[in-house]
């Protein structure tokens, strides 16, 4: 079986749903259920014996050690993190705790477990650490996209804490021989993304008649990747990646934020027109910029394409339509997230199960 951390969050839950659909192996899912962890994302596999959920912290050495010994996974995939840049500006401590210290304790537990395995299991074992392109800092307009050789120059408490976790992972390979893999991915979008991030926030605010807040001039560029493509890439790296290597993952989809918001508005204008027939673009407002806002991210994803034969399947045009449609069809999910009802749901369904 495999052991996933942070599997109740946006990317982790998409990963688990895809995994269960296409693999026979069981998944143990350790998640602390912070505000971003939502077991409703996994409701469709709630009764599936291939998904074993455990509520807990990656920083809890005793718990993680016990779980690894009990389930004997062949791989650990670390999604668990505090992930929102704006929150890291307001409350950086949580980012240091989970992304840095949490990753450190997870590494300790995994190293000790790996050392107890027999030779064959030891050789086959992998720890895959899921990271971000933000560790590389910001790019000028004309600069080439980030490749795996770029220097780390993180600019926010979030990216600094992720950079620190990447360094720790790297050091556990070089010092202790732990068979690690690291992926650095660009901005994801798709189903189950918490509506604090740009795309779901814009969809939800638009439909609720609220303003669509654009930070600064809206010309910051991100490289967007549909979440399922990220999940497929992670599987490829897990199965065929070279130990100790890092792989950049991106969508070849650089777009300014304002274009993204315009695209969301156009799709909504078509699928769910406003009652006054005006465009949702009317709701766009420009607000004070994010402090230290990185101007541009772009991923050079040629290494993973060349070595592991991975390329994104979705274009932005197809992915964004699917995404908007998903939010339109899952209004109850949004309402539950907003009201906190999903926490009651967790209480109802999971307390006493594990």
Among residues 68 and 130, whose Cβ is nearest to ligand NAD?
A: 130
CA distance 132 to 129: 10
Question: How, if at all, do strands 212-215 and 284-287 pair?
Answer: parallel
Are the C-beta atoms of residues 1 and 177 closer than 8 Å to each other?
no
User: Least CB distance from residue 85 to ligand DAU, whole Å?
Assistant: 4
Residue 37 engages ligand NAD in binding (rule: CB under 6 A): yes
Residue 220 engages ligand DAU in binding (rule: CB under 6 A): yes
Q: Binding residue for ligand DAU (CB under 6 A) from 71, 194, 215, 350?
A: 215
Of the candidates 102, 48, 52, the residue with the CA atom closest to the CA atom of residue 72 = 52
Residue 31 engages ligand NAD in binding (rule: CB under 6 A): yes
Residue 186 engages ligand DAU in binding (rule: CB under 6 A): yes
Residue 134 engages ligand DAU in binding (rule: CB under 6 A): yes
Of the candidates 279, 266, 186, 193, the residue with the CA atom closest to the CA atom of residue 233 = 186
Binding-site string for ligand NAD from residue 147 to residue 166, where x marks contact by CB under 6 A and - marks none: ---------------x----
Are the C-beta atoms of residues 233 and 304 closer than 8 Å to each other?
yes
Interface with ligand DAU in residues 59-118 (CB under 6 A): 83-85
CA distance 236 to 20: 16
Q: Can 152 be counted among the known catalytic residues?
A: no
Interface with ligand DAU in residues 194-213 (CB under 6 A): 197-198, 201, 213
- CA dihedral in degrees (116, 118, 122, 125; nearest 10)? -90
Binding-site string for ligand NAD from residue 169 to residue 188, where x marks contact by CB under 6 A and - marks none: ----------------x-xx
Interface with ligand DAU in residues 237-296 (CB under 6 A): 257, 290
Are the C-beta atoms of residues 113 and 42 closer than 8 Å to each other?
no
Q: Binding residue for ligand NAD (CB under 6 A) from 59, 137, 191, 241?
A: 59
Question: Alpha helix (H) ranges present in the chain?
Answer: 10-22, 61-71, 85-90, 92-95, 103-116, 119-124, 157-176, 198-207, 227-240, 257-271, 302-308, 316-329, 331-339, 341-350
Among residues 179 and 253, whose Cβ is nearest to ligand DAU?
A: 253
Residue 129 engages ligand DAU in binding (rule: CB under 6 A): no
Q: Can 294 be counted among the known catalytic residues?
A: no
Interface with ligand NAD in residues 78-137 (CB under 6 A): 79-83, 98, 102, 130, 132
Binding at 244: pick from ligand DAU, ligand NAD, none (beta carbon under 5-8 Å per type) = none
User: Least CB distance from residue 69 to ligand DAU, whole Å?
Assistant: 31
- Cα end-to-end distance, the chain, whole Å: 17
Rg (CA), the chain: 20
Segment interacting with ligand DAU, rule: CB under 6 A, options 145-153, 193-201, 269-277, 316-324: 193-201
Question: How, if at all, do strands 51-55 and 180-185 pair?
Answer: unpaired
Q: Can 113 be counted among the known catalytic residues?
A: no
Determine the Cα angle at 10 with ends 8 and 15, to 5°. 75
- Torsion sign, CA atoms 193, 195, 196, 197: positive
Q: Catalytic pick from 113, 158, 172, 226?
A: 158
- Could you give the residue numbers annotated as active site? 133-134, 158
* Interface positions with ligand NAD (CB under 6 A): 5-6, 8-12, 30-34, 36-37, 57-59, 79-83, 98, 102, 130, 132, 162, 185, 187-188, 194
């Amino acid at each position: 079986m495999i052991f996933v951390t942070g599997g109740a969050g946006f990317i982790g839950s998409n990963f688990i749903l895809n995994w269960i659909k296409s693999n026979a192996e069981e998944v143990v899912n350790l998640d602390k259920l912070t505000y971003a962890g939502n077991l409703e994302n996994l409701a469709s596999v709630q009764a599936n014996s291939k998904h074993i959920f455990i509520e807990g912290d990656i920083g809890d050495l005793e718990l993680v050690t016990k779980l690894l010994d009990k389930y004997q996974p062949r791989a650990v995939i670390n999604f668990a993190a505090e992930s929102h840049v704006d929150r890291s500006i307001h409350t950086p401590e949580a980012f240091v705790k989970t992304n840095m210290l949490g990753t450190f304790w997870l590494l300790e537990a995994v190293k000790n477990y790996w050392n107890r395995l027999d030779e064959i299991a030891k050789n086959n074992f992998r720890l895959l650490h899921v990271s971000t392109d933000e560790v590389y800092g910001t790019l000028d307009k004309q600069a080439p996209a980030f490749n795996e050789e770029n220097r780390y120059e993180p600019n926010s408490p979030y990216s600094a804490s992720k950079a620190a976790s990447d360094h720790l992972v790297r050091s556990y390979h070089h010092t202790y021989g732990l068979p690690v893999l690291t992926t650095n991915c660009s901005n994801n979008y798709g189903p189950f993304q918490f509506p604090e991030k740009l795309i779901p926030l814009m969809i939800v605010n638009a439909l609720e008649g609220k303003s669509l807040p654009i930070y600064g001039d809206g010309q910051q560029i991100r490289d967007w990747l549909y979440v399922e493509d990220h999940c497929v890439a992670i599987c490829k790296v897990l199965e065929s990646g070279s130990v100790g290597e890092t792989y950049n993952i991106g969508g070849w989809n650089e777009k300014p934020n304002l274009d993204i918001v315009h695209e969301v508005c156009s799709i909504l204008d078509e699928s769910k027109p406003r009652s006054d027939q005006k465009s949702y673009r009317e709701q766009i407002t420009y607000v004070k910029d994010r402090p230290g806002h990185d101007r541009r991210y772009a991923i050079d994803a040629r290494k993973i394409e060349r070595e592991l034969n991975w390329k994104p399947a979705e274009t932005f045009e197809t992915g964004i339509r699917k995404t908007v449609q998903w939010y339109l069809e899952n209004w109850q999910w949004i309402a539950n997230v907003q009201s906190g009802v999903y926490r009651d749901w967790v209480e109802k369904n999971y307390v006493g199960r594990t």
